[in-house]
Every structure is written in structure tokens, then in C-alpha cells.
Amino acid sequence: MDFDISMRIKELRLAKGLSTNKLSNLAGLSQSYVRKLEKGECKPTVESLELLCHALGITFRDFVNYKEASLLQLQAISLIGKLSNEQLEGLCKLLESKKEE
């Protein structure tokens, strides 16, 4: 990874409006561990990153690949990826109708 993982965690936490305490509770991790991750004092495991991503409402892939995307965009991408074909078709129709307004 060619970006600062600790800064990415903090950036996403702040974008979501969460304290380290709230994020750690949502992820099931200790607050001290999340603080150490954000300060770069320790390296996260893949498991802990996945827990943090889940707590933030994004995928691990989003965390790694979409550095420039906003948290809201990442959450939307994650939700869209879970839609059935019927739901996706409905969403496309809705978005098209809004575009025409």
C-alpha cells in the first residue's frame, strides 16, 4: 500500500463523525488500539482493518483502492454492490428520473 494507513483510518473516522471511542466500540476493538493505529504506533492486522471497515460501512477493498473518494461515496458503492439486479434496475430508474428534473 502506498498510502499512510494510520492517516486513512483517522480520515475515515473523522469523515463519519466518530470519536475513537465510538469507532472502537462499533468495531469491537479497544480504544487504545485504535488510537495506536491512528498514531502509527502499531500496524493493523487484516482482521482489525476489516472490523474497522465494517464499522465505517465500507469494504476493505474500498479502504485500500479508493483513497480520493469520500466516505459517503464509499458507503454508496458498498450498498450498491449488495443490491439484487431488480433493486439495481429500480435504483437506475430512480436516478434517471431525478436527473431529468
Q: Considering its fold, how many domains does the chain have in total? A: 1
| Domain ranges, residue 30 | 5-100
pLDDT at 1: 42
Flag residues of the chain having pLDDT under 50.
1
Query: Exposed, middle or buried, 27 (CB in 10 Å: 0-12/13-18/19+)?
Result: buried
What pLDDT sits at residue 67?
Answer: 65
Reported pTM: 0.67
Return the CATH number at 93.
1.10.260.40
